[in-house]
């Protein structure tokens, strides 16, 4: 073999060693996936210098935008849908960003609430956790169903209106026969009093029916199984207990006073004495002067004619007037024993009441 041939072989061997060595280095650097490494290197070069675009939001509008990622949606389709929703301004940049940061493998199907005030990077991160599809909804103790409906309309996360919800829970509401039987729900009644007041974490795909069922299930869980049994032993249905509890809820500003107020009403019921509860007059009047609980006058006691007006009618009103919390329900079922038949707001302006055994004591408690 000639010297030239040996030199060529040596060169080939050296080049081979170098190529193998470089290949090994690339393999190590790329984490075992050189194709992915090359692609990401190209993307990195492509979006270098575009940090401002990545961190810039479409606008300062914080209004929630309902955005859905369906199972099987590709990053490219998601990017196009984001662009169509005016949540980003560059779909290709979104695809490159999620690809470069391996977010493309973490994007989750679900319904999200995004805003145009979020940057592209924030939106990309948000779409990796479908738990972001939940939102908070609060029902206050003492609200009537119309106030729940108004809260639905005021909450931008719902995909239905308060009127749609009212159509489901208002008079003639159709509910599970087991629930209706347990509470003693009269035929044709609304679900007033049973939309349990609490703070809920709701799924984005919530429907009126789902919301109704969540509220009723929470009511059942809070009340438990023993209270209806005890109420029945006292001669009351759960529906009647909730009716009384709703009045107690509206009358008592302080939870620790609820059993005493409930006791006064139970004493009156026992002797067929009218309850004369102001909230029942307000409920019968309905919306007036910008409120579902309008200020009432002496005139309203006798002129606000309604089956709910307990100044005109003996016994409990036809049904609950608001959603009571569990403490008010327990107070109605287990009232404080006393010989009081009257109460009125005290003169200390602290939200508490003074109680009287006779009407004369009641008058003397006046300011």
pLDDT mean over 245-271: 97
Do 116 and 82 contact (CB within 8 A), yes or no? Answer: no
State the pLDDT confidence band at 24, using cuts at 50, 70 and 90.
Answer: very low
The residue count for the chain: 367
H or E segment and range at residue 356: strand 353-356
pLDDT score at 244: 98
Confidence of residue 346 (pLDDT cuts 50, 70, 90): confident
DSSP-assigned beta bridge partners for residue 138:
199
Q: How many CA atoms lie within 13 A of 287 on its CB side?
A: 6
- Mean pLDDT for the stretch of residues 58-62: 92
Closest CA to 132 of 62, 201, 56, 210: 201
> Which of residues 205 and 287 earns the better pLDDT score?
287
Listed range (10-24, 135-149, 262-276, 293-307) with the worst mean pLDDT:
10-24
Question: According to the model, what pLDDT value does residue 26 have?
Answer: 47
pLDDT band of 289, cuts 50, 70, 90? very high
CB 149 within 8 A of CB 197: no
- Is residue 341 pLDDT above 80, yes or no? yes
Would you say residue 78 has pLDDT above 70?
yes
Residue 11 has pLDDT above 60, yes or no: yes
Q: How many CB atoms lie within 10 A of CB 207?
A: 15
Q: Is the pLDDT of residue 44 over 60?
A: yes
Q: What is the mean pLDDT of residues 255-284?
A: 97
User: What is the number of other CB atoms lying within 10 angstroms of the CB of residue 332?
Assistant: 30
Give the pLDDT confidence score for residue 3 in this predicted structure. 62
- Structural fold of domain 51-128: Dna Ligase; domain 1 (3.30.1490)
Tell whether the model's pLDDT for residue 18 goes beyond 70. no
Closest residue by Cα to residue 54 from 81, 111, 107, 92: 92
| Two tokens, residue 231 | 């109420």
**Does residue 16 have a pLDDT over 70?**
no
Vertex 84 angle, CA 80 and 90, to 5°: 55
Asked if residue 41 has pLDDT above 90, the reply is no
CA distance 249 to 327: 9
pLDDT at site 326: 98
pLDDT in tens, 100-109: 999 999 999 9
Distance between CA atoms of residues 178 and 126, nearest Å = 41
317 Ramachandran zone, left/alpha/beta (phi>0; psi -120 to 50):
beta
* Triad 312, 317, 323: Cα angle to 5°: 135
The pLDDT tens digits of the residues spanning 47-56 come to: 877 888 999 9
DSSP class of residue 94 equals: H
92 three-state secondary structure? helix
* Per-residue pLDDT at 188: 92
Beta-ladder partners of 343: 355
Which of 165, 161, 105, 110 is CA-nearest to residue 134? Answer: 110
Mean pLDDT computed over every residue of the chain: 90
Residue 361 confidence class, pLDDT cut points 50, 70, 90: confident
Q: How far apart are CA 25 and CA 235, in angstroms?
A: 85
Quick one: DSSP state of residue 35? Answer: H
Is residue 76 pLDDT above 70, yes or no? yes
CA distance 274 to 261: 14
Residue 28 has pLDDT above 70, yes or no: no
Percentage above 70 pLDDT, the chain = 90
Contacts of 152 (CB under 8 A, 6+ apart): 137, 158, 160, 161, 162, 165
Q: Where are the chain's structural domains?
A: 51-128, 145-336
Rounded Cα gap, residues 70 and 68, in angstroms: 6
């Amino acid at each position: 073999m000639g010297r030239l041939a040996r030199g060529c072989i040596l060169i080939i061997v050296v080049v081979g060693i170098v190529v193998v060595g470089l290949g090994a280095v690339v393999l190590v650097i790329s984490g075992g996936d050189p194709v992915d490494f090359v692609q990401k290197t190209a993307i990195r070069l492509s979006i270098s210098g575009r940090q401002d675009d990545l961190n810039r939001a479409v606008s300062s509008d914080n209004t929630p935008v309902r955005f859905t990622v369906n199972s099987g949606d590709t990053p490219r389709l998601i990017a196009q849908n984001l662009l169509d929703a005016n949540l980003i301004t560059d779909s290709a940049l979104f695809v490159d960003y999620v690809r470069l940061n391996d977010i493309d493998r973490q994007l989750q199907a679900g319904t999200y609430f995004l805003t145009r005030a979020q940057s592209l990077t924030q939106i990309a991160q948000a779409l990796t956790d479908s738990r972001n599809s939940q939102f908070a909804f609060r029902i206050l103790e003492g609200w009537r169903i119309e106030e729940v409906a108004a809260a639905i309309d005021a909450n931008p996360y719902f995909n239905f209106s308060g009127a749609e919800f009212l159509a489901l829970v208002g008079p003639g509401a159709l509910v599970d026969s087991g629930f209706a039987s347990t509470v003693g729900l009269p035929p044709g009644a609304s679900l007033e009093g049973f939309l349990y007041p609490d703070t809920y974490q709701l799924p984005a795909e919530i429907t009126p029916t789902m919301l109704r069922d969540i509220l009723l299930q929470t009511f059942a869980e809070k009340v438990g199984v023993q209270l209806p049994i005890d109420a029945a032993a006292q001669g009351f249905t759960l529906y009647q207990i909730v009716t009384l509890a709703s009045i107690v809820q509206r009358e008592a500003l302080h939870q620790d006073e609820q059993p005493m107020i409930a006791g006064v009403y139970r004493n009156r019921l026992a002797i067929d004495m009218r309850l004369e509860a102001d909230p029942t007059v307000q409920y019968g009047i309905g919306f007036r002067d910008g409120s579902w609980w309008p200020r009432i006058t002496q005139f309203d006691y006798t002129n606000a004619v309604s089956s709910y007006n307990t100044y005109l009618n003996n016994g409990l009103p036809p049904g609950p007037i608001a959603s009571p919390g569990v403490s008010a329900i327990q107070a109605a079922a287990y009232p404080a024993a006393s010989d009081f038949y009257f109460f009125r707001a005290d003169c200390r302006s602290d939200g508490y009441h003074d109680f009287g055994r006779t009407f004369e004591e009641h008058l003397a408690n006046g300011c």
